[in-house]
């Protein structure tokens, strides 16, 4: 599945509407990226191009430009700490980008800063892209490895980060939303062999949040996210929901042109059938890849609803 905004960003490289920087992404300020793996990442890929940023100005989201990162071969984590009213809760952030690139601010740093505003420590994962989309469900092995490793990395450093190792959640957008479902259901068996002591810590999230997820709904044709009017809900069989799947919060728009809302609906149904606590918010308007940038629409209320949900779980 190639997401619409990814295509926009890639095509915009050829025109004046987008400014391209030659350097790799840097969070700025006093924040430091930390390599996710102590050695070479498993199933490493040799990329022909170096990591770089693209500032997309011709296709603004919420009236503002946005930044994407491409050619990530060295995955990192960046910790965002709340300046006041810190809780012991942490959330790991997976930006979207169709496993081709990462919407690093729209679905990354901006989300981290919002989480900080409600007292939550945020950890932004710059996972490997582009990576092969494997199988009929177009999943990324390398992205899943980085996503699982990030959970264990945060849990292994819980004391130093001032967080509770039993209050570590995940949030993801689009392809990152698929990662949320993947780490929520595949924690009993890692997607890579043990690398070091970090992997002795569980990679199961304690709670999960997915916005406009992809790669989850399988239509009658067997293709992931098919187009058409098929009414049946069928979940990607690689997403095996059990009663051990963590409580989940889902958001999607009915008019999403990239990922059919049946992605969220099929996952919701599987969670409900397994009696996993789940909350779904489906809105008529919102489109795709909006992050925090559509406050004037009803769907723009999702952060407040999420905050309330976190309070019901006694995480804030």
The CATH number covering residue 8 comes to 3.40.50.1820
pLDDT of residue 23: 85
Q: Which range marks the domain in which residue 57 is found?
A: 4-312
pLDDT of residue 19: 54
- Please count the structural domains in the chain: 1
Query: Does the structure show a pLDDT above 50 at 2?
Result: no
Q: First vs last Cα of the chain: how many Å apart? A: 35
Q: Which of 285, 282, 288 is nearest to 262 (CA)?
A: 282
16-75 pLDDT tens trace: 345 556 688 999 899 999 999 999 999 999 998 999 999 999 889 999 999 999 999 999
pLDDT of residue 237: 93
Q: What string of DSSP letters covers 183-220?
A: HHH-TTS-SS---SGGGGS----SEEEEES--S-BB-T
């Amino acid at each position: 599945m190639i997401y619409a905004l990814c295509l926009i960003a890639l095509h915009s490289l050829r025109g004046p509407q987008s400014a391209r920087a030659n350097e790799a992404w840097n969070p700025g300020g006093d924040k430091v990226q930390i390599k996710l793996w102590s050695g070479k990442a498993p199933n490493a890929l040799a990329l022909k191009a170096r990591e770089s940023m693209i500032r997309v100005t011709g296709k603004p989201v919420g009236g503002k430009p946005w930044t994407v990162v491409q050619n990530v071969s060295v995955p990192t984590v960046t910790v965002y700490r709340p300046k006041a009213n810190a809780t012991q809760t942490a959330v790991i952030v997976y930006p979207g980008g169709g496993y081709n690139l990462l919407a690093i601010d729209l679905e990354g740093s901006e989300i981290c800063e919002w989480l900080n505003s409600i007292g939550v420590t945020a950890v932004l994962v710059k996972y490997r892209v582009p990576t092969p989309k494997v199988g009929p469900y177009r999943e990324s092995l390398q992205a899943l490895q980085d996503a699982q490793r990030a959970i264990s990395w945060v849990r292994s450093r819980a004391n130093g980060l001032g967080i509770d190792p039993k209050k570590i959640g995940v949030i993801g957008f689009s392809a990152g939303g698929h990662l949320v479902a993947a780490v929520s259901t595949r924690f009993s068996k890692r997607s890579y062999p043990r690398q070091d002591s970090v992997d002795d810590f569980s990679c199961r999230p304690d709670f999960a949040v997915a916005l406009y997820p992809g790669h989850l709904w399988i239509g009658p044709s067997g293709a992931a996210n098919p187009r058409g009017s098929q009414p049946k809900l069928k979940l990607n069989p690689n997403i095996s929901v059990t009663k051990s799947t963590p409580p989940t919060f889902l958001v999607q728009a009915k008019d999403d042109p990239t990922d059919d809302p049946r992605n969220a609906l099929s996952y919701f149904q599987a969670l409900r059938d397994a009696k996993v606590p789940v909350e779904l918010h489906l809105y008529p308007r919102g489109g795709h890849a909006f992050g925090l940038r559509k406050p004037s629409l009803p769907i723009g209320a999702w952060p407040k609803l999420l905050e309330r949900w976190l309070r019901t779980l006694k995480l804030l």
